[in-house]
Structure 1
């Protein structure tokens, strides 16, 4: 399996651009009133915070943030107690926030596509690298903590 040449943040930005483009396809708004702004803003902040905190835990442990590069530490505390991929999960949550803010049905189609790209092009490969690097410690961690939620 070949590592992806485009990093997850680039896919994240591309997903936002596609969502913005899809906004212009005529559709009926999903929600009325101020709720979609509040929900969207909250999810955008929550997702960004999740991604940022996951990255902070990596930096604090002194391990590499760049996908497919050598990991020097197995980070299994903080958000990593609840999900093996808080940075990717945060991106999906933030995209859900963007979809709420756009208040149309078409941008929601981007979320499963983005999650599938991350799953197939990054997570599968990264998990194999982690297993090769950390062995039983990672296998044990994998058995205790779910991939997404």
Structure 2
């Protein structure tokens, strides 16, 4: 198994830094308005709420929040009924909210890049692990709930 030193929240922090770098140095066309700031703030808060709720469900199930560590339960309730990766989706929403709030069109490249990195480094290996740990339950869950939305 690949050793992962940089965990997903750090990738989100890198993404926020990239958004502010784009905003400062390479903003591209701007779209700043009070409406975009309110929309960005709402997206950011929704992402944060999803992250907290999903993390709480993991804690309640007694499984670790750190990827690949102490996986003891397959969580399929709450927000996990709508997306298999609500924590990663919440982080992507936070990045999208920040990008919309700053109003830099090139900053909008960061959330999909974050999603690609997370899918490649974490989600696909996690799916293989869950398949091995829960050979009966995970395929059924995977068949009824999408990876992202």
Is the TM value for this pair above 0.5?
Answer: yes
Find out whether 1:27 has 2:28 as its counterpart: yes
Match of 1:146 in 2: 146
Q: Distance in 1 between matches of 2:30 and 2:18?
A: 18
The runs of 5 or more residues in structure 2 that have no matched partner are none
CA shift, 1:129, in A, is 0.7
On the 8 A contact 1:3/1:122 being kept in 2, the answer is no
Q: Distance in 1 between matches of 2:113 and 2:21?
A: 15
On the 8 A contact 1:3/1:121 being kept in 2, the answer is no
Q: Distance in 2 between matches of 1:27 and 1:5?
A: 33
Q: Distance in 2 between matches of 1:86 and 1:28?
A: 31
Match of 2:115 in 1: 115
Q: How does 1:1-80 map to 2 (within 5 A)?
A: 2-24=2-24, 25-31=26-32, 33-80=33-80
On the 8 A contact 1:16/1:98 being kept in 2, the answer is yes
Runs of 4+ with deviation above 4 angstroms: none
On the 8 A contact 2:99/2:107 being kept in 1, the answer is yes
Aligned residues: 148
CA shift, 1:28, in A, is 3.1
Taking structure 1 as the reference length, the TM-score comes to 0.95
CA shift, 1:70, in A, is 2.8
RMSD after superposition: 1.1
